[in-house]
Structure 1
Amino acid sequence: MLKVESLHAFYGKSHVLHGVHFEVQPGEIVALLGRNGSGRSTTAKAVMGLVDCAGSVKWRGEEIQGRKAFEIAHLGIGYVPENRDIFPDLTVHQNLMLGEKGRGRKSRWSFDDMYGMFPRLKERQHTEAGVLSGGEQQMLTLCRTLMGDPDLIIIDEPTEGLAPKIVELVGQYLKTLKDRGISVLLIEQKLTIAMAISDRALVMGHGSIVFEGTPEALRNDSYTRKEWLEV
């Protein structure tokens, strides 16, 4: 579904990604792990066309590297950024409406689905998003992205700053995405949740992929966990 090869990314003269390569298959949850500054978030932005980069990013066999972010989104890739990027002066419901993309097919998701997953959003659907708690804003950002009916969703640190109960809830609903045929690239620092729900794990270090394998293989690889992860 998604194939990244020899991907390099730059912030001005700073060379951040160094030949990143990985794939995401249909219906698969892939965890992208690593310490802060390893290049995980930059990888997501590079796939979405949000940073200067070179190399190859193919979506269903079509080269998309160099295309604009909104064009990539309309192809079926959803992106939930780490900083959430909600529209603070609009209500919860209006934020969800802005997520709809009308991709020429019946969406797998509805407002009822969103409010069913996160009842707190239904309670606050007429509330301005800017006054929501951090956890509620994270729920809203995820749901707004799902309203665009993506086939792959890239989620950057969805559990950052959330209470343990909400973290567990987010993990459950990431599994729900897979059940509905949506692939997930999960950028996460918390090893426990990533290992519990992912099919494969990638570990980044210094802007490159330093490990690729199953969660079980990563559990047994004490060197990788000690050297490249915060455990």
Structure 2
Amino acid sequence: MLNLQDLHAYYGKSHVLHGVSFEVGKGEIVALLGRNGSGRSTVAKAIMGLVHAEGGLTWRGKSILGRKAYEVAHLGIGYVPENRDIFPRLTVHQNLILGMKGSGKGSRWGFDDMYAMFPRLKERQHTEAGVLSGGEQQMLTLCRTLMGDPDLIIIDEPTEGLAPKIVELVGQYLQQLKARGISVLLIEQKLTIAMHISDRALVMGHGAIVFDGTPDGLRADEATRKEWLEV
């Protein structure tokens, strides 16, 4: 579904991505791992048209290079950024409404689905999002993105700052997405969640892919883990 081929990205004159190539297939969870500063988040921003990029970037066989973020979103790619980007003065329910595209009819996801997945959000649906805990805000951002009915969701550091029990829940919900045929590009620094739920693992270092294989293969590759990951 998603194909990156020799992708380069820049912040002004700073060359950040150096020939990144990989694919994400239908219903596949692909973990993009690496230390801070390795270029993982820049990959997400390049896909979403938020940084200048050059090279090959296709979605369902058609180039999306240079598209605006809203255009990419309407093609079926959802993005959950690391900083969560909730609307703090709006309620939980209002935040979810803003994630909908059109009327929402025919979507695989609705309010009942969101509240069934995260009962805490149902309890707080009339609460302003700005007073939610970090874990609740992460749940809300994920749900708001799902309300747009994406076929691929890019989620950047979903477990950052969350309690271990919430981290485990996030992993379970990402597997639920896969069960519904949604592809996931999971950008993570922590190995635990990524290694348990992913079909493939990619490791980045200095703006390039330094490992592309299975989670089992990465477990066996001690040299890669020691050099490029926080272990």
Would you call these one fold, judging by a TM-score over 0.5? yes
1:29 shift after superposition = 0.2
Partner of 1:25: 25
1:105 shift after superposition = 6.2
| Structure 2 residue 24 is matched with structure 1 residue 6 | no
Matching of residues 73-222 of structure 1 within 5 Å: 73-102=73-102, 106-222=106-222
CA change 1:36–1:100 in 2 (3 A) is same
1:13 shift after superposition = 1.1
Cα distance in 2, alignment partners of residues 226 and 101 from structure 1: 43
**What are structure 1's unaligned runs of at least 5 residues?**
none
Cα distance in 2, alignment partners of residues 17 and 84 from structure 1: 23
Matching of residues 41-60 of structure 1 within 5 Å: 41-60=41-60
Cα distance in 2, alignment partners of residues 36 and 120 from structure 1: 31
Deviations 1:151-183 (A, max 9, x none): 000000000000000000000000000000000
1:102 shift after superposition = 3.0
Q: Is the 8 A contact 1:171 1:197 kept in 2?
A: yes
CA change 1:119–1:93 in 2 (3 A) is same
Cα distance in 2, alignment partners of residues 177 and 169 from structure 1: 13
Deviations 1:107-156 (A, max 9, x none): 11010100011111001100111111111100000000000000000000
1:56 shift after superposition = 1.4
Q: Is the 8 A contact 1:92 1:128 kept in 2?
A: yes
CA change 1:104–1:113 in 2 (3 A) is closer
CA change 1:215–1:110 in 2 (3 A) is same
CA RMSD of aligned residues (A): 1.0
Cα distance in 2, alignment partners of residues 33 and 150 from structure 1: 22
Cα distance in 2, alignment partners of residues 90 and 183 from structure 1: 29
Q: Is the 8 A contact 1:189 1:230 kept in 2?
A: yes
**What are structure 2's unaligned runs of at least 5 residues?**
none
Cα distance in 1, alignment partners of residues 79 and 136 from structure 2: 17
Cα distance in 2, alignment partners of residues 60 and 117 from structure 1: 29
Q: List structure 1 segments (4+ residues) > 4 angstroms apart after TM superposition.
A: none
SS in 2 for 1:155: strand
Cα distance in 2, alignment partners of residues 180 and 104 from structure 1: 17
Q: Percent identity?
A: 83
Q: Is the 8 A contact 1:74 1:103 kept in 2?
A: no
Match of 1:65, as an amino acid? L
Cα distance in 2, alignment partners of residues 103 and 32 from structure 1: 33
1:104 shift after superposition = 8.2
